[in-house]
Amino acid sequence: MDGGAIYDILIIGGGINGCGVARDAAGRGYSVFLAEMKDLASGTSSWSTKLIHGGLRYLEHYEFRLVREALMEREVLWRMAPSIIWPMRFVLPHHEGLRPAWLLRLGLFLYDHIGGRKLLPATRTLDMRSDPAGKPLKPLFSRAFEYSDCWVNDARLVVLNARDAADRGAVIRTRTRVTSARRDGAVWTVTVEDSRSRRTETVRAKLLVNAAGPWVDEVLGATLGKNDVHNVRLVQGSHIVVKRKFDDPRAYFFQNRDGRIIFAIPYEEDYTLIGTTDRDYEGEPGAVAITDVEIDYLCEAASEYFAEPVRRSDIVWTYSGVRPLFDDGASKAQEATRDYVLTAEGGGGQAPLVNVFGGKITTYRRLAEAMLEKIGGLIGRRGAPWTGDASLPGGDFPVNGFDREVGKLSAAYPFLDTGHARRLVRLYGTKVPAMLGAARSTADLGQHFGADLWEAEVRYLIEHEWALSAEDVLWRRTKRGLRLTAVEAAALDDFMRGATGRSETAAAE
Ligand code: FAD
């Protein structure tokens, strides 16, 4: 579009909700401009527990609508992106003195039956004295329930939605902050600022989507000039990553004495991810960091179950995020609803604004459909829902076809070791050949940055996935940050500074 054009939709925020809406809208033929002030998924969307789940715990809060919708999404999303989403079995030990076995069984019965489960296996009961899942735990747990949910690479889900949106015509701008938005009758005049050059630019659009996650109220206040805005409750959640605590591919669902639950999940081959916490948060969402109290809480809660305690010294990485929960007035952070709410204003000659409050990664696609329904009513309908059976980039292979894809890749590029081939298919699915091209040996992959990270991958991320810094590559597009030394990461950063200087336009547009 040329500089004077008016976009149909301008989206503030490149988290899962903004990118999901951009993809759906672009696919229906709307012109879309998305502005993300930092990197894609740099907000809450890369700090989650990474589960595509119904949320067994939400049944206790009678959130049946949410749980049903979320459960139904598990197999839809798995089919859309089988590289970055896959089924996982969860082992829930029965703990004497906590929830009774009949209650767990009832919850899991509902879980199995209200969510349109077709491919995921059903719940079963385990004898923890003989099942391998009992081995890393204290011998106190004789019975457990094993049920299904899915795992997602959250940051990549965001980027793949952005990539698909761009492939369908959307303009995706990262490092671009929306600083003000003014209604001129039926059109928004929006000022965006490039966070590196500080250059500002005016963009016009018929409709504004505020998908700024934990910044949603700040955008309403500082950017849109509204007074007394309070729609979301900011709730911090933190995770610790420790050296692998168990070999079993299943994850654990541990109940705590305070009524909360935590997960212990196999992570990035050699690690275990343990989380999360729930505490009200005040302050700038980008500055959130794990507290000592949270570290102690997670270590103690996991040590209640594992035979070998989880110690501070086991921790190799931590991360924290802020949930932007719709403020439903719940007294405890853990009880606040995880459902999403969309509010629209304007229309009838006044340029409309639609805000996103709350939501989960699991329900982002449905949230986008609900958003498009609202948008259709406000600026005119285009297209029909289409995302339910359209693969994300690289996800065009059958749900159980991962090993076959790895086999195909290894046959085409025999110099890749199996671990490397598996990692690449997990991240990029069928797009790996586009990254590796005609390479015949690792020497053809260019500069080596450490672990199994080579220049060919980094260049692909710059050219196709808006990566601009070492952090974008090491902690969001991949998790190679867990493996590279500080010196290696600094060398990558130097390389990227040079490389993105040259390809800045390609990366930003
Ligand atoms: P964000 O990802 O925060 O995106 C908002 C974006 O807006 C940010 O990138 C920000 O930089 C940008 N922005 C803000 N202001 C501006 C501006 N003025 N101009 C331009 N850009 C701007 N959900 C699940 O389904 N499963 C889970 O297992 C799960 N676990 C979770 C665990 C934790 C600890 C937390 C915190 C959340 C978890 N969630 C989970 C919930 C899920 O992560 C969030 O609901 C979701 O990521 C919110 O996405 P979003 O797009 O609304 O917000």
What residue owns the CA closest to ligand 1's atom 6?
Answer: 13
Do 177 and 239 lie in a common domain? no
Assigned domain for 395 exists: no
Ligand 1 within 6 A of 274 CB? no
**Would you tell me how many other CB atoms lie within 10 Å of the CB of residue 332?**
12
Assigned domain for 420 exists: yes
Do 248 and 318 lie in a common domain? yes
b/e for 222-232, b at 16 or more Cβ within 10 A? ebbeeeeeebb
Assigned domain for 506 exists: no
Q: Give residues with Cβ within 8 angstroms of 83, minimum separation 6.
A: 394, 395, 397, 402, 405, 425, 426, 427, 428, 429, 430
Ligand 1 binding pocket mutation candidate from 48, 172, 240, 320 (most atoms within 8 A of CB) = 48
Do 143 and 241 lie in a common domain? yes
Ligand 1 within 6 A of 45 CB? yes
Assigned domain for 421 exists: yes
Q: How far is it, in rounded angstroms, from Cα 131 to Cα 140?
A: 14
Q: What is residue 97's predicted lDDT score, i.e. its pLDDT?
A: 84
Q: DSSP letters of 305-359?
A: TBSS---GGGEEEEEEEEEEEE----SSGGGS---EEEEEEEETTEEEEEEEEE-
User: By residue range, what is the domain housing residue 427?
Assistant: 402-500
Q: What is residue 348's predicted lDDT score, i.e. its pLDDT?
A: 87
The CATH number linked to 251 is 3.30.9.10
Do 255 and 323 lie in a common domain? yes
Whether residue 12 contacts residue 178, with contact meaning beta carbons closer than 8 Å, is answered with yes
List, for residues 375-401, the tens digit of each pLDDT value.
Answer: 999 999 999 999 999 999 999 999 999
Assigned domain for 102 exists: yes
Ligand 1 binding pocket mutation candidate from 12, 208, 215, 466 (most atoms within 8 A of CB) = 215
Query: Last residue of a domain, which of 365, 389, 413?
Result: 389
Whether residue 192 contacts residue 203, with contact meaning beta carbons closer than 8 Å, is answered with yes
Ligand 1 atom with minimal separation from the 192 CA: 19
List, for residues 306-342, the tens digit of each pLDDT value.
Answer: 999 999 999 999 999 999 999 888 878 778 888 899 9
Q: What is residue 1's predicted lDDT score, i.e. its pLDDT?
A: 64
Residues of the chain below pLDDT 70: 1-3, 502-509
Do 16 and 69 lie in a common domain? no
Cα of 237 to ligand 1 centre, how many Å? 12
Query: Last residue of a domain, which of 274, 296, 327?
Result: 327
Do 189 and 313 lie in a common domain? no
Do 289 and 378 lie in a common domain? no
Q: What is residue 502's predicted lDDT score, i.e. its pLDDT?
A: 37
Ligand 1 within 6 A of 276 CB? yes
The CATH number linked to 187 is 3.50.50.60
Cα of 325 to ligand 1 centre, how many Å? 10
Ligand 1 within 6 A of 43 CB? yes
Assigned domain for 306 exists: yes
Whether residue 289 contacts residue 277, with contact meaning beta carbons closer than 8 Å, is answered with no
- Look up the pTM and report it: 0.97
Q: What is residue 506's predicted lDDT score, i.e. its pLDDT?
A: 36
Ligand 1 within 6 A of 360 CB? yes
In the chain, the number of structural domains is 3
Residue 345 bridge partners (DSSP): 353
Ligand 1 within 6 A of 123 CB? no
Do 144 and 246 lie in a common domain? yes
Do 149 and 243 lie in a common domain? yes
Ligand 1 binding pocket mutation candidate from 201, 360, 366, 466 (most atoms within 8 A of CB) = 360
Q: What is residue 76's predicted lDDT score, i.e. its pLDDT?
A: 97
369 burial (CB, 10 Å; 0-12 / 13-18 / 19+) is middle
Assigned domain for 509 exists: no
| Residue type (1 letter), 355 | N
Query: Last residue of a domain, which of 327, 346, 379?
Result: 327
Assigned domain for 12 exists: yes
Cα of 109 to ligand 1 centre, how many Å? 30
Ligand 1 within 6 A of 321 CB? yes
Do 366 and 261 lie in a common domain? no
Ligand 1 binding pocket mutation candidate from 11, 44, 57, 239 (most atoms within 8 A of CB) = 44
Do 262 and 303 lie in a common domain? yes
Do 266 and 344 lie in a common domain? no
**Would you tell me how many other CB atoms lie within 10 Å of the CB of residue 329?**
8
